[in-house]
Amino acid sequence: MTVHTSDLTAAAGALQSLQAALGGRVSLDPEVRARYRSDFGRLVDRLPGAVAFCASAEEVAELVRRCRELRVPIVPRGQAHTQTGQATSEGGVVLDTAPLNRIHAIDAEALTASVDGGVVWRDLVVATTAQDLVPPVLTNNLGVTVAGTLSMAGLGVASFRYGTQADNVLELEVVTGEGEIVVCSRQRHRELFDVVRCGLGQFGIITRATLKLRRCRPRVRMFTLVYDRLDLFMADARRIMDPADRSFHSLGGICSPAPLGFRSIGEGLELGVGVQGFAHWVFPMFLSVEFAPGEEPDDAALLAGLHFHRHAHTEDTTQLDFCRRMEPMFQLWRRTGYWEHPHPWMETILPWEGSREFIESVLAQLPPGALGAGGHVLLWPSRTDCSDVPLFMHPEGEVVMGWGILGAVPREFLEEGLAKLDLASELSIYYGGKRYLSGYISFDTVERWAQHFGDRWPAVQAAKRRWDPDGILAPGFIQYE
C-alpha cells in the first residue's frame, strides 16, 4: 500500500515556538499527540508533532498564520472517520475541531441552522427534531462533524432528492491557508465556497456553517424489502427516485450474502488458492415515509407495483430515532472490538449503466467472510441533478449507483485484502466510477489525482495556489504538480 506522508515536515524548534506563542491552545504532550496517530481506517500510524485546540475563527486564524510563518503543516480533524489518514499528520499540527462545538441558532422561520464546524451532526439533529425540523440530508453515521462531512460531500438516504450535505449549506466561514477569515456562499467569494465544499481541508478550515433545514413530520415508517435480483432492485429504485414520484422520503440498500460454503478455484484445498468462500447475494432495500400521528401511510398503496421478493419488516419510529437508526450497530461495533480493526472501506460512485455488471462481477469474487463480522456491502442509488458542488466527483448521467465494500480486515490478511480492494477500485474506475474520498484511497501520483478530478483538475490546482500558497493545509494526501 502506498500512503503518502507529507514532504513538508515541522522542525521541533518551530513547534516549540508555536506552543510558546499560543500557550494552552497547543499541546506537545506525547500522550495527547498519541491519541491522534490514526483514524477509523487504522491503516496509517503517524505521530503529529503537536495538537491544537481552537474555539473560534480568530484562534484558528492566528494558529494558521503562525504555522505559515514557521512552515509547519496543519491538518483539520473532526471525528476522524476517514480511512487513509486524511486527518492525520506525521510531525505537523493536527487541529482538533472539537472545541468549535456551538450551535448558534436554529431559525424555524428561515429554515436554517448556524453552527460551528466542529458540531457533531447528532447534537444538531437532537436540537432540530425537537422543533419538527431536520437537515435535508444526513449520513448514516451521525457521530461525525458538520465540517468533516461538508469537506467530503455527505451522502445519505435522502440524497436522491436533496443532493449531498455540501449542497445544503448556504454560507461558510473559512480560515484560508494565509490565515484570513473569509465568509463565502453562492453570492460571496463563490470561488472559495466551491472548493471548500468537498475540499478535504485543502483550501481552508471551515469554522462555521449556515445549513439548510426542512420541516418534517414527527414519525417515520420504515420498510425493509428483500430483492433476490439486482436488476429488479435497480428498476424499482429508478421508479422511486423519479421526481414525479414523491412516495418515499428515503431510499437505501445493501448487498447481503447468504454463505454457500466453499467452491473450487484451483488445485487443492488451500484457502484462497484452491478454494474460496462464496455466497448467494440478496439485495435488501430500505425505504421510509414520514407521517403525523393519525395520518398513517397506506402500506399496500405505497408498495404496490414494486418487485421485491419479500416484504421482510415494517416499523414505526420517531423522526429522531430514524435519524439515529444506525447507532445500535455502531455501538455493537464498539462493544465487539470491530471498531478497532483496520477498515479499508472502498466506496465508489458508478454510472447507472454498467453498475449492475460491475457489482455482480465483484460480488461473485467476494467471499462473504472477507467482510468480517459487522461488515457490509453498501448499495446507494441516487440522482445527480440535485447536486451542483463542483468538487463532488461523480459520473455523468441522471442517476448513479453508489457502492461500497465496508469491511474490517484482520491484520494478518491486510496486505492481501488491500491488493484485492485496489483491484476492485481500479475496476470501478474502468467502469467510469469515481471514488468517494473518505475511504481507502491509494492514488499515489499526480496523474491519478488529475484523472480523479478530470476537467476540474486545473481549477483544483489553481485554487490550491490561490488559497494555500505555501501548501501548509493538509499536505500529503492529494498530490499536486
Ligand X SMILES: Cc1cc2nc3c(=O)[nH]c(=O)nc-3n(C[C@H](O)[C@H](O)[C@H](O)COP(=O)(O)OP(=O)(O)OC[C@H]3O[C@@H](n4cnc5c(N)ncnc54)[C@H](O)[C@@H]3O)c2cc1C
End-to-end CA distance of the chain: 22
Q: Which is nearer to ligand X, 153 or 401 (CB)?
A: 153
CA distance 106 to 129: 11
The reply to whether 250 sits near ligand X by the rule CB under 6 A is no
Applying CB under 6 A, among 134, 408, 474, 478 the residue interacting with ligand X is 474
Measuring CA to CA, which residue among 53, 38, 125, 48 is closest to residue 84? Answer: 38
Give the Cα-Cα-Cα angle 199, 203, 206 (nearest 5 degrees). 75
Rounded to a whole number of angstroms, the minimum distance from the CB of residue 222 to ligand X is 16
Applying CB under 6 A, among 6, 27, 89, 97 the residue interacting with ligand X is 97
- Tell me the window of 76-84, 294-302, 421-429, 442-450 that interacts with ligand X (CB under 6 A): 76-84
Rounded to a whole number of angstroms, the minimum distance from the CB of residue 153 to ligand X is 6
Q: Which is nearer to ligand X, 206 or 220 (CB)?
A: 206
For 95, the grid coordinates are 487541529
- Tell me the window of 16-24, 134-142, 177-185, 443-451 that interacts with ligand X (CB under 6 A): 134-142
Rounded to a whole number of angstroms, the minimum distance from the CB of residue 266 to ligand X is 35
Site for ligand X in 145-174 (CB under 6 A): 145, 147-149, 151-156
Judge contact between 27 and 98, C-beta under 8 A.
no
Q: What is the dihedral of CA 124, 127, 131, 133, to 10 degrees?
A: 10
Between strands 93-96 and 346-351, the pairing is: unpaired
Measuring CA to CA, which residue among 118, 124, 145 is closest to residue 59? Answer: 118
Would you give the distance in Å from CA 413 to the centre of its chain? 25
Please count the residues of this chain forming the interface with ligand X, following the rule CB under 6 A: 33
Judge contact between 398 and 349, C-beta under 8 A.
no
Rounded to a whole number of angstroms, the minimum distance from the CB of residue 474 to ligand X is 5
Q: Which helix (H) or strand (E) holds 204?
A: strand 204-212
Q: Which helix (H) or strand (E) holds 278?
A: strand 275-291
Rounded to a whole number of angstroms, the minimum distance from the CB of residue 328 to ligand X is 13
Rounded to a whole number of angstroms, the minimum distance from the CB of residue 261 to ligand X is 30
Applying CB under 6 A, among 84, 89, 112, 141 the residue interacting with ligand X is 141
Give the Cα-Cα-Cα angle 392, 398, 400 (nearest 5 degrees). 60
Residue 449 carries which DSSP code? H
CA distance 470 to 71: 8
CA distance 428 to 439: 14
- Per the DSSP assignment, residues forming a β-bridge with 141 are none
Give the Cα-Cα-Cα angle 155, 160, 163 (nearest 5 degrees). 55
CA distance 379 to 253: 5
Q: Which is nearer to ligand X, 210 or 278 (CB)?
A: 210
- Tell me the window of 6-14, 73-81, 106-114, 178-186 that interacts with ligand X (CB under 6 A): 73-81
Q: Which is nearer to ligand X, 40 or 278 (CB)?
A: 40
The reply to whether 63 sits near ligand X by the rule CB under 6 A is no
Rounded to a whole number of angstroms, the minimum distance from the CB of residue 100 to ligand X is 7
The reply to whether 348 sits near ligand X by the rule CB under 6 A is no
Site for ligand X in 5-44 (CB under 6 A): 40
User: For ligand X, what does the binding mask look like between residues 383 and 422, x meaning CB under 6 A?
Assistant: ----------------------------------------
Q: Which is nearer to ligand X, 46 or 306 (CB)?
A: 46
The reply to whether 76 sits near ligand X by the rule CB under 6 A is yes
User: For ligand X, what does the binding mask look like between residues 177 and 216, x meaning CB under 6 A?
Assistant: -----------------------xx---xx----------
Site for ligand X in 77-96 (CB under 6 A): 77-82, 86-87
The reply to whether 125 sits near ligand X by the rule CB under 6 A is no
Q: Which helix (H) or strand (E) holds 310?
A: strand 310-318
Indicate the length of the chain as a whole number. Answer: 481
Query: Which residues here bind ligand X, judged by CB under 6 A?
Result: 40, 75-82, 86-87, 97, 117, 139-141, 144-145, 147-149, 151-156, 200-201, 205-206, 438, 474
